[in-house]
Amino acid sequence: MYKHILITTDGSENAGLGLEHGLTLASCIGAAVTILTVTPPFPIVAAAMGAGSYTPVAVLEGYDQAQRETAERILEAAAERARHAGVSVTALHVPDATPADAILERAEALGCDLICMASHGRRGLKRMLLGSQATEVVTRSAIPVLVVRA
C-alpha cells in the first residue's frame, strides 16, 4: 500500500512517538522512509529591534551552525532506530524553513505516499487537539497523513 513514508521529527519525546509508529508501519509493510527535520530561520523581530538595526554575521553563522549540529544529532539517532528496525532510511534536514511548508514540499518532491508525524512537537500545547504544524499539514496535504497522538 505505502512504499515511501515521510516521517517528521524535531527530536522531542513527542516526535519520538510519531517516529516509532512510522518505523513500525514501514517495517511491517516493507516501505522505505525519509526522516525529515526542519529548523526555522533565525528569529529576527525587526519591530522590537528598531529601525536600522542588524544582526551581526557571526551571530547568524553561530545560529546556523548550532541548528545544523542539532539536526545532525536528531537525524543520526532517528536513522539508527530505522536501521535497527530493518527499514531503508534516508535522513534529510531542511534549514531556514517553516516546518509545515517544508514537510509538504518535501513529501511531494520525494514522491512520498504517506506522511507520519506526532500530533505535537517540541512547542505543542497538550490542551490542543493538534499542534499548529500538524494541523497545517493535515489541512493542506494532498498526501495521506498519519497523526500519532503525543
CATH number at 125 reads: 3.40.50.620
Which residue type is seen at 20?
Answer: E
Q: Is residue 140 part of a domain?
A: yes
Q: Is residue 97 part of a domain?
A: yes
pTM of the model: 0.87
Give the CA angle between residues 9, 11, 12 to the nearest 5°: 105
| pLDDT tens-place string over residues 70-119 | 999 999 999 999 999 999 999 999 999 999 999 999 999 999 999 999 99
Q: Is residue 71 part of a domain?
A: no
Q: Is residue 66 part of a domain?
A: no
Residue ranges making up the domain that contains 120:
1-41+89-150
Give the CA angle between residues 110, 131, 74 to the nearest 5°: 55
23: left (phi over 0), alpha (psi -120 to 50) or beta: alpha
For the chain, the domain total comes to: 1
Q: Is residue 108 part of a domain?
A: yes
